[in-house]
Chains A and B, each alone.
Chain A
Amino acid sequence: SQQGEEDPQALSIQEGENATMNCSYKTSINNLQWYRQNSGRGLVHLILIRSNEREKHSGRLRVTLDTSKKSSSLLITASRAADTASYFCATRKSSGDKLTFGTGTRLAVRP
């Protein structure tokens, strides 16, 4: 079963614009991670945010976490055509638990 739901399911933007994806989850978590997947194969880890953190940055990525609303957002600033991919959030309920993935957002960045 999927823990998270990403919103929107698909997003198309122009190169240079910002892209925002949201993730909602159902149970309390230890941490939340965002992954990118190109062409339906291997996933690449982008960023991890712990339940006691509210915001994290990595390069052009900004992640927020609101545990009271059980939601997270991923912002990609100044998007590039190479950012075209599917983006997934994944949660861990506790530090020793499995990663449970959401349904993903398909991002298309038009050159």
Chain B
Amino acid sequence: GAGVSQTPSNKVTEKGKYVELRCDPISGHTALYWYRQSLGQGPEFLIYFQGTGAADDSGLPNDRFFAVRPEGSVSTLKIQRTERGDSAVYLCASSLTYGDEAFFGQGTRLTVV
């Protein structure tokens, strides 16, 4: 596709369940970012990949959050034992190389009930 694709666009899950959020970056983009945004706030950094490796995972809030990018393209953000406080829009972005402008997907709205 032409842009960054995130699936699903909306996800409702019960507290304690496991969820996976998928990001398909723009083809050829080596850098991939995950952010989380709560209502009325700016995007909060979670993790950043250069190729297959996590260049910076300092934003992951705790060990319930994990992300992978096994082949340097598609990435999956995994949240275990979800809590109501995890409810937010999860945004993915990619850029051609580090330092460039980032292109964002439309996000996944996660609601934990």
Q: Which residues of chain A have a CB within 8 Å of any CB of chain B?
A: 2, 4, 30-31, 33, 35, 40-45, 48, 88, 92, 95-104
Contact = CB atoms under 8 A, between A and B. Distances in A.
Given A45-B104, A95-B99, 8 more contacts: A2-B44, A40-B39, A42-B107, A45-B102, A95-B98, A96-B99, A98-B56, A98-B59
A40 B42 contact: no
Interface residues on chain B, size class: 20 to 34
B102 A104 contact: no
Contacts of A103: 41-42
Contacts of B106: 41-42
B105 A42 contact: yes
Centre residue among B39, B48, B101 by max chain A CB count within 10 A: B101
Contacts of A41: 89, 106-107
Contacts of A102: 42
Contacts of B102: 33, 45, 99
Given A30-B99, A42-B104, A98-B33, A88 B42 contact: yes
Contact of B103 (A45, A48, A95, A100): A45
Given A95-B98, A96-B98, A42 B45 contact: no
